[in-house]
Amino acid sequence: MKNLLLGSALILMLSCQSSSSESQPVDQAVDNSEQISAENDTTAVSVESELTESKYADYKELSTTLPKTIEGLDSLMHFFNTHNVDFSASEKDSAYFDYLNLMYAVQDQHGEDDLDESELEAYKTKGFNVFSSEGISWIVVNEAAVGENFKSAISKDVYAYSQLGEYSSKQLSADAGLWYTFSQMGEMILELEDKIFENENSVYLNEFIGVYQDYLNLYMWGLDNTPIFDWSNDNKLDAEVEKSYQTIIEDANHKTGLILDTHLRNLKANDPDFFSWQNQWRPSKDEIKTYFGLSK
Same domain? 17 vs 148:
yes
* Rounded average pLDDT over 69-78: 96
- Biggest CA-to-CA distance, the chain: 73
27 contact partners, CB below 8 Å, separation of at least 6? 129, 142, 166
Q: Which CA distances in Å does 157 have to 133, 169, 174, 207, 248?
A: 35, 19, 32, 12, 28
The Cα–Cα gap between 21 and 26 comes to 33
Least confident of 15-24, 60-69, 72-81, 121-130: 15-24
Domain carrying residue 102: 1-155
Same domain? 144 vs 177:
no
State pLDDT tens for residues 155-209.
999 999 999 999 998 877 777 778 789 999 999 999 999 999 999 999 999 999 9
Same domain? 58 vs 149:
yes
Q: Is the pTM of this model over 0.85?
A: no
The Cα–Cα gap between 243 and 237 comes to 10
Same domain? 273 vs 207:
yes
Which domain-ending residue is among 155, 181, 212? Answer: 155
Residue 128's beta-bridge partner residues? Answer: 141
Instruction: Classify residue 66: in a domain, yes or no.
Output: yes
Smallest CA-to-CA distance from 151 within 140, 163, 168, 142 is with: 163
Which domain-ending residue is among 155, 184, 203? Answer: 155
The Cα–Cα gap between 49 and 46 comes to 9
Instruction: Classify residue 167: in a domain, yes or no.
Output: no
